[in-house]
Amino acid sequence: MQKVVNNSDKALAEETLPLAVALMEAHPQEAKAYAVYADLLYHSGQRQAARKAYENTIELDESVYTVWEQLLYILQEERDFAALKKTSETALELFPNQTHIYLMNGLALHELDLKEEAVEILQEALLVAGNNIFMQQENTDLLGQNSR
């Protein structure tokens, strides 16, 4: 898996998919098996299928932040801002200390033309970001867009 990610090896991701399917069949209640499958789908360019696989992973185990993060990235890439809003709101309940989720929620609100709500959530994100300069800058940029 690491080789697929590090090298953006789409062909290897596609070749490895049958192994991930076998892993899911052998361990149908194991969220990690679905997460591996979702990652391989994503890296093989099958974003819609990866989205569904990440959603299945979350149904089995909602406690893994990186799975939520990947799902949020896909929703952003697909520009499905209604789903991004809903999913990021759920993720915020589980991971209230993850600044990136606030950013994704703020982006969704901004794109859905809910500017006041976007400003509120992005101001919360600044508080959560603390000394994280990168996250502060990301928040400030998005806040600036919402104040226009």
93: domain CATH number is 1.25.40.10
- Split into its structural domains, the chain has a count of 2
Closest by CA position to 119, among listed 144, 86, 84, 91: 144
- Same domain as 55, residue 84: no
Instruction: Answer yes or no: do 93 and 57 share one domain.
Output: no
Calpha distance 138→148 (Å, rounded): 16
Return the CATH number at 11. 1.25.40
- Helix runs in 27-80, H state only: 31-43, 47-60, 65-77
Q: Which domain holds residue 106?
A: 80-148
Do 121 and 89 sit in the same domain of this protein?
yes
Query: For residue 51, with 0-12 CB atoms within 10 Å meaning exposed, 13-18 middle and 19 or more buried, which class applies?
Result: buried
Tens-digit pLDDT profile for residues 92-126: 999 999 999 999 999 999 999 999 999 999 889 88
pTM: 0.85
Per-residue pLDDT tens over the stretch 62-92: 999 999 999 999 999 999 999 999 999 999 9
